Structures are given as C-alpha cells and as structure tokens.
Amino acid sequence: AQTVTQSQPEMSVQEAETVTLSCTYDTSESNYYLFWYKQPPSRQMILVIRQEAYKQQNATENRFSVNFQKAAKSFSLKISDSQLGDTAMYFCAFMKYSGGGADGLTFGKGTHLIIQP
C-alpha cells in the first residue's frame, strides 16, 4: 500500500508571492503517476498538474510547476504570482501503474492555501 503525506495543513501568503506546497509519498512501486488537485469552496475537484514517474522533466502548467524528486519520493507544487482565485484546498495524489489500465487514487490530507490581498 502507498501513503501520501502533506505536512502543511494550512499556508497563507500575500497575493503575487510564490508559494510551495510539499508532498511526500511512500511506495514500493516503480511505475506510477502523481497529481495535484485543487478544491475551491465550491468543492469541485480540479486537476492542477500531473506527472509520470518515469519522466525526469518536471511538469509545468502556466503558473504551476512541480519539483519531482523520485529518489526522495517528494512531489512539491510551486505556484508563482499567486492570485486570490488560488485560495483553495490542494491535494496531492498517487496512482500506481496498472498494466496500462487506470487504478484508484491515494490522496494526502490536503493543504489549505489562503491568498491574502
């Protein structure tokens, strides 16, 4: 079984600042995927960014980027030029590779990010 740990229950930064959310995971799998999901007050789960473990290059999506350290089992999310709309719960999630098929996600407990005006 795998576990996902988000050690920061809550973070608060000023608008336009850069913020990094941490995530570590524990697994014996060698092939897997990692995700960050955002959950605003509307409670909709929104995919932010995703990473395939076999790819060394860190994924980026506009203002969002990850720092993937496979050996350290670390998958942090960096948000640049933070905006008020980034205020939300952020969940890190792990999915093992299942012979080409999909599998369930294992989630961390989340980080509540607050962007202050």
Partner 1 sequence: NAGVTQTPKFQVLKTGQSMTLQCAQDMNHEYMSWYRQDPGMGLRLIHYSVGAGITDQGEVPNGYNVSRSTTEDFPLRLLSAAPSQTSVYFCASSLSGGGLFNTQYFGPGTRLTVL
- φ/ψ of 59, rounded to 5, equals -75, 145
Tell me, by CB under 8 A, how many residues bind partner 1.
26
Token pair for 86: 């980034």
Q: Per CB under 8 A, does 11 bind partner 1?
A: no
What is the smallest separation between the CB atom of 95 and partner 1, expressed in angstroms?
7
Place of tokens 């473990």: 53
Tell me the three state secondary structure of residue 86.
Answer: helix
Which one of residues 77, 88, 95, 115 is an interface residue with partner 1 (CB under 8 A)? 95
CA distance linking residue 37 with residue 92, whole number of Å: 6
What is the smallest separation between the CB atom of 51 and partner 1, expressed in angstroms?
9
- Stretch touching partner 1 by CB under 8 A, among 11-19, 61-69, 71-79, 98-106: 98-106
Q: Per CB under 8 A, does 47 bind partner 1?
A: yes
CB 24 within 8 A of CB 73: yes
- The CB density around residue 80, as the number of other CB atoms within 10 Å, is 14
Interface positions with partner 1 (CB under 8 A): 4, 33, 35, 37, 42-45, 47, 50, 52, 91, 93, 95, 97, 100-110
